[in-house]
Every structure is written in C-alpha cells, then in structure tokens.
Amino acid sequence: MERNQEALKRRLVELAFEITGEGELGEDQDYDVYLTSPLPELGVDSLTALELAVHLEREFGTRLEEQELTQIRTLEDIVRFVEARGA
C-alpha cells in the first residue's frame, strides 16, 4: 500500500505539471512540498482540477465526484479521497 501511495503522489505531481506546463519534477526532487501547496500556486484552476480528475480515473480507476472536486485545495486532498476508497 505504501508503495502504491508513493506512486500515486508522484504521479499526481507529474500530472499537475504536465497539464499546467508549470514546472518539471526532477528525479531527486522532493515532491511532498507540491502535495501540500495550494492548487493555484501550482497553476491548477477549476478546469485543470477537472482534467486532473479525469487522468486520475483513467490511471488509477478512482473517480472523484463533483462535490469532492469542490473540496480539493491541494494534491494531498486528492490522495486522501483515493485512500478513503481503498484504491
């Protein structure tokens, strides 16, 4: 589970960068700081969050409901929703 969680966290940061074009995650870079950053600081707005959710569903099989999307403030929030579903 821990390994899957780390993979999820890293992939979320990578997706955020890919979708927004706001930066790049290096191999040795600490991505945890990005997980707790407010989404606007990462260049993620409401449309980008929706796109991120679509990618998440495709890659991890976890669907975020519209009401959950409105509660997301950080990438770590997404991790919590995924963990709550046992994915």
How wide is the angle at C-alpha 56 spanned by C-alphas 53 and 62, nearest 5°? 95
Render pLDDT for 65-78 as a digit per residue (tens, 0 to 9).
Answer: 888 888 889 989 88
Cα distances from 43 to residues 16, 17, 25, in angstroms, run 8, 8, 14
Rounded-to-integer distance, Cα 56 and Cα 64, Å: 9
pTM exceeds cut of 0.85: no
Render pLDDT for 41-87 as a digit per residue (tens, 0 to 9).
Answer: 888 888 888 888 888 888 878 888 888 888 889 989 888 887 787 65
pLDDT confidence of residue 73:
92
